[in-house]
Amino acid sequence: MIVVDCSSLVHFLLDHGKTGSAIRERVGRAESLAAPGLLDYEITSAVFGLARGRRGDEPKITGKEAQKAITDYQALALDLHPTLVLWQRVRELSNNLSVYDAHYVALAESLGVPLITSDARIERSGTARCRIETFEASRT
């Protein structure tokens, strides 16, 4: 089992480069996938944001690509966990991480499994008590 965060799944779903391929390979080796329940909200926000464009930027993906990404996300065998029970650890972690990121770390810690991410800040925070596997986004 591994815990996957939103950043890794956006690459998994939409990145056709090296980072996306590496994450798809890693996720494919996992026996099962877990994430906090907030992942549904984060994925839809990220995908819709890419399709809408931000701050005057052109959209990064088409509406059709966004629809496929959400459909593919829905098809994942993903075990979503409630994380409110982990609030004390989330609070501790949120001194160095966003509250959202803290939920992923706290869940991975509680399950005793690695966290898969493409957000290097999580690993750099040095606060996680679980293994962090960071797949850095390639710059093109």
- Transcribe 65-125 into DSSP letters: HHHHHHHHHHHS-EEEE--GGGHHHHHHHTTTS-HHHHHHHHHHHHHT--EEES-HHHHHT
The predicted structure's pLDDT at residue 120: 95
The predicted structure's pLDDT at residue 20: 96
The torsion defined by the Cα of 87, 91, 93 and 97, in degrees rounded to 10, comes to 110
Over the stretch 97-139, which tens digit does the pLDDT of each residue have?
A: 999 999 999 999 999 999 999 999 999 999 999 999 999 876 5
Whether this model's pTM surpasses 0.85? yes
Over the stretch 71-89, which tens digit does the pLDDT of each residue have?
A: 999 999 999 999 999 999 9
Q: How far apart are CA 18 and CA 21, in angstroms?
A: 5
Residue bearing the bigger pLDDT, 84 or 55: 84
Q: How confident is the model at residue 93 (pLDDT cuts 50, 70, 90)?
A: very high
Q: Please list, residue by residue across 93-115, b when 16 or more beta carbons sit within 10 angstroms of its beta carbon and e when fewer do.
A: bbebbeebbbbbbbbbbbbebbb
The predicted structure's pLDDT at residue 64: 97
Beta bridge pairs of residue 2: 33
Is residue 140's pLDDT more than 60?
Answer: no
Domains of the chain: 2-134 (3.40.50.1010)
The DSSP code for 47 is: H
